[in-house]
Amino acid sequence: MREVKTFATLPGPEPKRPVPCRLCGGESFSRLWDCGDFAFVACRGCGLIQQNPQSEPQAIAERYDGRSSADYLRYEERNQYAYRDLELLALGDIALEREAEPIFERARAEGRKPRALDVGCATGALLAALRDSGWDPQGVELSAAQASYGQARHALPIHAGSLESASFPAASFDLVHASHLIEHLNDPAAFLDEVARVLAPGGLLVLTTPNADGFQARLLGPRWRSAIYDHLYLFSARSLRALLESRGFAVSASATWGGWARGLRPAFVKGPLDRMAKRFGFGDVVAFLARRM
């Protein structure tokens, strides 16, 4: 069984510091997975999995807009439409179109389009698809190279930087989408607080992240493709729901998918395991649809 990983930067000499659990605030951890140059621990209080100690935020930002930015852009450009199609399937699984009907009705009554923000929008391929579906699009992307690509290729307004540095006015958006982002952040709770600030009351948040309680994570442990240096947190469906609810969001729907990674052997189990993972909720990736209260 060979290891299958997503794109990752290599561990380097970055300044690090110990951090408390971002879900319960606990400071007691048990060592979970040794990945060589870094390790994942589990909070003894709530079970949230995270790297500890963690690299400082500035060092994290440098990975995406510094020494690895050209490699990251090539990776995203090569895979942008495959990832877009997967994300569109996820939006279907959590019934975004149905849940957004009242938002579209309200926007039409106000003589505007509903406003969608994609945080970590990469090349903007999904954001362009949302625009085609009637949303007024805005992107945020930490990698200046990818932001420029999305501006030029898809004619999208994309802020090059973090969500916080964009300084959007309160209640600016009806939908915030963040796919495979929250696991990269030093402070996911603070990120959700900023999302809540820029979302209009009743607005929707879509979060997609690797599922630390999925079949692949349990089977492969430190060889799981999402146990990489760039992932500071690995959420289970339970821990992500708890974090969302603690920041004032009400979960409307969730879905998981991916029972067996392409490239793992034996290949013939992929189809049946993928179907079972989706049906019974032990997929490799989890998506949540939540409403700002």
pLDDT in tens, 95-137: 999 999 999 999 999 999 999 999 999 999 999 999 999 999 9
- Residue 42's pLDDT band, with cuts at 50, 70 and 90, is very high
**Which CATH entry fits the domain spanning 16-292: 1.10.645.10, 3.40.470.10, 3.90.1150.10, 3.40.50.150?**
3.40.50.150
Kindly state the average pLDDT of the residues 77-106: 95
At residue 5 the predicted structure's pLDDT band, cuts being 50, 70 and 90, is very low
- Name which of 112, 135, 113, 109 is nearest 124 in CA terms: 135
Percentage of the chain beyond pLDDT 90 is 84
Residue 46 has pLDDT above 50, yes or no: yes
pLDDT reading at 205 higher than 70: yes
Please give the C-alpha separations between residue 49 and each of 24, 128, 283, in angstroms, as whole numbers.
12, 33, 17
For position 69, what pLDDT does the model report? Answer: 64
- Domain segments of the chain as ranges: 16-292
The pTM score is 0.93
Average model confidence (pLDDT) for the chain? 93
The phi, psi pair for 110, rounded to 5°, reads: -95, 5
